[in-house]
Structure 1
Amino acid sequence: MSITITLTDQDNSTLRTAAYGAVSLMAAAGAPHKGITHGCIALTSATGLVGHVLAAKSKDIHLHGKSVAELADQALPALTAAMSLLGEQYPGEADNFRGTVLVAVEAATQLGKGGPSPAVAAMARKITAALDAA
């Protein structure tokens, strides 16, 4: 038995902006290029509703700015909004989204020599806090 879940275009945009914004924040904080690649692979390897949304070809990811702060002003609230949206409508998918983003963040941090830099580790904590703020 299959359950059809429908999200609005705005909901899809929020989820994509949040997830790809998290990886972009890790890159902006100085995570290694190879780690960022693995983080993006983690996002496109997701399953369920989240996997379908993140794997879709789309131009609705809205991340603009010239500084890490400007990027964070968009991505961190989007993470919280995505968790709220999914938590209210599809709780199982909220867990899936959170886990997917955290795997992507972990993938981005794992390839640095000697562990993540303090800036990368701090950004990972901020992303986790945004996910948990919902």
Structure 2
Amino acid sequence: MSVATTAAALSLSADEKATLRTAAYGAVSLLAAVDGTGQPGKIAAHGSMALYAGTGPVGHVLAEKAKVHDLSGKSVAEIADKVFPALTEAVALLAERNPAEAENFRAIVLLALESGAHARKGGATPVMADMTARIAAALSTK
């Protein structure tokens, strides 16, 4: 199956694809933002590599070098205000179109968070674990 055929299997618009990417890369951004070391790049890099390694139609969408909604913010709360709605919207959209891909999306994002946390010397902090739990809860909303 070609990339075009695989992505078409979900019948997602450009904006819907951007929402999926915003949700996934935003989740990694949130984890990096709560790291507390002042050097979140390693977490973001490892998490992003895990997203890029996703498979299936969702993996193709996440690997595209294309639009992501604005994830900037002066605080974790401002970033979270953008990411959590995108997570909820992405899961709802995928659950409606292709429940298996909704589960694939959840698994890819959670693996990315785990990869990011393991990249940090000393492992995840309690704050990172809490953020991961909050993101996992957002991914589970139906």
Q: Find 2:52's aligned residue among 39, 44, 56.
A: 44
The code of the aligned residue for 2:132 comes to A
Q: Which moved more, 1:92-101 or 1:62-71?
A: 62-71
CA distance in 2, matches of 1:60, 1:21: 9
Please say if 1:14 is aligned against 2:22. no
The code of the aligned residue for 1:69 comes to A
Q: Find 2:100's aligned residue among 81, 87, 92.
A: 92
Please say if 1:28 is aligned against 2:44. no
SS of the residue 2:134 aligns to: helix
Q: Find 2:80's aligned residue among 72, 75, 87.
A: 72
- How many aligned residue pairs are there? 134
The code of the aligned residue for 2:31 comes to M
**1:117 alignment partner in structure 2:** 125
CA distance in 1, matches of 2:81, 2:99: 25
**1:128 alignment partner in structure 2:** 136
Percent of aligned pairs sharing the same letter: 51
**1:57 alignment partner in structure 2:** 65
The code of the aligned residue for 2:35 comes to G
Question: Contact 2:31–2:43 (CA<8 Å) still a contact in 1?
Answer: no
Instruction: Return the offset for 1:63.
Output: 1.2
Instruction: Return the offset for 1:124.
Output: 0.5
Question: Contact 1:36–1:107 (CA<8 Å) still a contact in 2?
Answer: no
1:75-96 Cα shifts (integer Å, max 9, x gaps): 0111111000000111110011
Q: Which moved more, 1:28-37 or 1:43-52?
A: 28-37
1:17-66 Cα shifts (integer Å, max 9, x gaps): 00000000001011753232111100000111111111111133321321
The code of the aligned residue for 1:27 comes to A
The code of the aligned residue for 2:91 comes to M
CA distance in 2, matches of 1:22, 1:85: 17
What 5-or-longer segments of structure 2 have no aligned partner? none
Superposed CA RMSD: 1.8
1:88-107 Cα shifts (integer Å, max 9, x gaps): 11111001100000000001
Q: TM-score, normalised by structure 1?
A: 0.91
What 5-or-longer segments of structure 1 have no aligned partner? none
**2:115 alignment partner in structure 1:** 107
Question: Contact 2:18–2:68 (CA<8 Å) still a contact in 1?
Answer: yes
